[in-house]
A and B are shown apart, each in its own frame.
Chain A
Amino acid sequence: MTPGVRKLALTAHVTCSVGWLGAVAGSLPLAVAGLTSQDAQTVRAVYLTMELTGWYVLIPFSLASLLTGLVQSLGTVWGLFRHYWVLTKLLMNVVATLVLLLYMQTLGRLADVAGETAVSSSDPRGLRDPSPVLHAAAALLLLLVATALAVYKPRGMTRYGRRKQHERRTVSQPAT
C-alpha cells in the first residue's frame, strides 16, 4: 500500500474499532439499567434498544473492524501471523464477533419478550436478565485490551514471522 492508502486504512480501522468500543461502553449502562431499574417500561425500553444497537451499531462496527484490520495487517509489513500482538488482536476480534453474533439471538428473545403487549407489567422482575451486563462488561474489557495492544504493540514475532523476515533480509541483503 502507498503511504496515503495505508493511513486511510489505518484511520478506517481505528474509527471502526474505537466506534465498537464506544458502542459497547454505551451498552453497559443500558444493561445495568435493565437489570436494576424498578420501572418495567425502562427495562423493556432497554432490551428493545439493545437489540437495535446490536444489529445496527455493534455488528456493523465489529465486522468493519475485522475487515479493516485484515486489510491493515495484510497490506503492511506487520502481516497477519507474523507478530503476536497482531495475531492476538485477530483472535480477540474473531471471538468477540462470533460471540456477539450468537448473543444477538438472546438479545432478540429479550426484545421479543419486552415488546409483547401481554408483558406490560409494573413489576419488571420477570424481564430482568444479568447476561447483557456480563456480556457487555466482558466485551468492554476485551476491546480495551485490544486497543492497548494496538497502541503499545508489544514485541514478539511468531516463528512464521521470524522466518518471513529472515527471507526478506536474505533477498534485500544478498551475501557478497
Chain B
Amino acid sequence: MANSPPDPDIGDEDGFLPEHADTPRWVQVFGLIALVLVLLVIIMLLAGRGGHGPGRHTVGGGGPTPAAGPIQLP
C-alpha cells in the first residue's frame, strides 16, 4: 500500500531514521549504571572476592571446596 506507515525496522519511506543531536538521557543513565557496575567488579576483584576468572569461584562462597575434605556417607 502506498499510504502504509513506515516500517520501524527500516525507517521512513526514504529509509531515514529519526535524528537527534544530543545524547539521550537514557544513554547517560545506562552509562552511569555501567560505570558503577564496572567499579563494583573492580573493587570485588581487588578485595579478592567475585570475578569470573579461573579459580575465582569456589564452592561454599570462597571457602575450601568439599573435594578437599570428602564428606562421609550417611
Contacts and interface: CB of A to CB of B under 8 A. Distances in A.
Interface string A90-133: 01000000010011011001101100101111110011111100
Interface of B: 8-11, 14-21, 23-24, 26-27, 30, 34, 52-54, 56-61, 65-67, 69-74
Per DSSP, chain A at the interface is: helix
Contact of B66 (A6, A102, A119, A155): A119
Interface range on chain A (Cβ under 8 Å from partner) = 35 or more
A161 to B, nearest CB: 8
Contacts of B34: 91
A103 to B, nearest CB: 6
Given A88-B27, A154-B26, A129 B66 contact: no
Given A76-B10, A131-B61, A122 B74 contact: yes
A80 to B, nearest CB: 14
A165 B17 contact: yes
B71 A155 contact: no
A77 B15 contact: yes
A10 B73 contact: no
A63 interface: no
A59 interface: no
B71 A109 contact: no
B26 A162 contact: no
A63 to B, nearest CB: 17
A88 B24 CA distance: 13
